[in-house]
Homo-oligomer: A and B are copies of this chain.
Amino acid sequence: MTDKVSSKDKLIKTASRLFQLQGYHATGLNQITKESGAPKGSLYYHFPNGKEELAIESVRLTAKFVTNRMNASLRKKDDPVEAIQQFIVELVEEFKQERRTDGVPIAAVALETALVSEPLREECRLAYESFQNVFTNKLIASGYDEKKAKELGVVIHSMIEGSFLTSFTAGNVDALLVISKQIPVLLN
């Protein structure tokens, strides 16, 4: 039982990283098995439905990981404006690392597969819902009424997602820094 999940976990972890960096179609199963160090023949044992199933579980893992990271960041400040800006600062810092170890979480997979794989699309939708809820919950805890908090959760998530995409493409953090300044305007 000790190593029973180890192989499966290695595959999911490696796949999560590669899907994030390269997207869905550019990432081959050969590359995943090779880089994971997991036994090559074990992939279809753990994921009978092949690549799609592996991608679904990878998106789920990435969503959980990112959500936890967001929550940990937002906990550092009581004031929601400062908390969200703190989170963006951490995004910026990570972005500045020379060695780009990850891209925009799940975005490439979502765009590539939303029209062709219903279960994969649904898993991506859940991921974004989870990201929105992190902001919404922070606002509710700060006294915002639920309706307003839900709307602002969507707005803040959209701003960060969009500026992350822009920054990723531009290769700099300009867009992220600009939207950070507008957070106080939004939370009035």
Q: Which residues in A have some Cβ–Cβ distance to B below 8 Å?
A: 21-26, 100, 103-104, 107-108, 110-112, 114-116, 121, 124-125, 128, 151, 154-155, 157-163, 165-166, 168-171, 174-175, 178-179, 181-182, 185-186, 188
Contacts and interface: CB of A to CB of B under 8 A. Distances in A.
B25 A114 contact: no
A144 to B, nearest CB: 14
Tell me if A's interface is mostly helix, strand, loop or mixed. Answer: helix
A66 to B, nearest CB: 15
A23 B111 contact: yes
A155 B159 contact: yes
10 contacts: A22-B112, A24-B25, A24-B26, A111-B111, A114-B169, A125-B169, A154-B163, A155-B163, A159-B162, A162-B163
- Copy number of this protein in the oligomer? 2
B168 A165 contact: no
A133 to B, nearest CB: 13
Given A154-B163, A159-B155, A162-B163, A114 B168 contact: yes
Given A159-B158, A162-B161, A166-B158, A108 B100 contact: no
B159 A166 contact: no
Given A162-B165, A166-B157, A171-B121, A115 B100 contact: yes
A125 B170 contact: yes
B115 A104 contact: no
A135 to B, nearest CB: 12
- State the 9 A-B residue pairs at the shortest beta-carbon distance, nearest first: A162-B162, A158-B162, A161-B162, A25-B25, A108-B111, A158-B163, A23-B112, A25-B26, A154-B178
Contacts of A166: 128, 154, 157-158, 161
